[in-house]
Chain A
Amino acid sequence: DSGVTQTPKHLITATGQRVTLRCSPRSGDLSVYWYQQSLDQGLQFLIQYYNGEERAKGNILERFSAQQFPDLHSELNLSSLELGDSALYFCASSPSASRDEKLFFGSGTQLSVL
């Protein structure tokens, strides 16, 4: 158990819909990262938050947004869903935002867009 909690574990929805994925980082960790894992693209970095502020952005679509709340949990919002958005979405956390820091990954949310 990494200490990172993601909910829900599975999510099935239809095209055009909007969903929210939730992540609670390890106790004491200030950084939260979101990754998307698909069969053809592998693990893709989406976005990082540190202590409530956006710190780094990766290949995140404009239809996707995220935020980190004062209690440090984070939510990833996916809107106008398309079939191609079906993937595993992982949240990871780390103590700070330092160089070469170890990331602790949650078990992921499996999103299926039908």
Chain B
Amino acid sequence: TQLLEQSPQFLSIQEGENLTVYCNSSSVFSSLQWYRQEPGEGPVLLVTVVTGGEVKKLKRLTFQFGDARKDSSLHITAAQPGDTGLYLCAGAIFQGAQKLVFGQGTRLTINP
């Protein structure tokens, strides 16, 4: 069974601070996806990282895939209240068909 440990589970910080969310596993994934989920809605894909060591930036969000493709991080610079939400990492395993293994999620609250 592939497990994806996401930490922290809850994070509440002030506007303007920086933060990092971690996603770790003992399994190797073909890719790692990060989603954001708002209350009452389904997850929305933010980014997919595919290559070990890959770094992708989306405005103030920086995503990194570990060299061994077992872990990933999401760093947010100068967090804003609009960043509040549930962030989910998902590791993709392809065995004839793609399966996504989701982490438990990080519930992020940015206080004005």
Contacts and interface: CB of A to CB of B under 8 A. Distances in A.
B43 A43 contact: yes
Contacts of A55: 96-97
Contacts of B50: 100
B92 interface: yes
B112 interface: no
A2 to B, nearest CB: 7
Contacts, number: 68
Interface string B80-112: 000000001010101111111111110000000
Contacts of A64: none
A101 interface: yes
A106 B43 CA distance: 8
B99 A100 contact: no
Interface residues of A, number: 27
B45 A45 contact: no
Contacts of B44: 2, 105
Given A99-B92, A99-B94, A56 B42 contact: no
Interface in A45-60: 45, 48, 50, 55-56, 58
A21 interface: no
Contacts of B25: none
A18 to B, nearest CB: 24
Interface of A: 2, 4, 33, 35, 42-45, 48, 50, 55-56, 58, 90, 92, 97-108
10 contacts: A42-B88, A42-B102, A43-B90, A45-B100, A45-B101, A90-B43, A100-B30, A103-B100, A105-B43, A108-B40
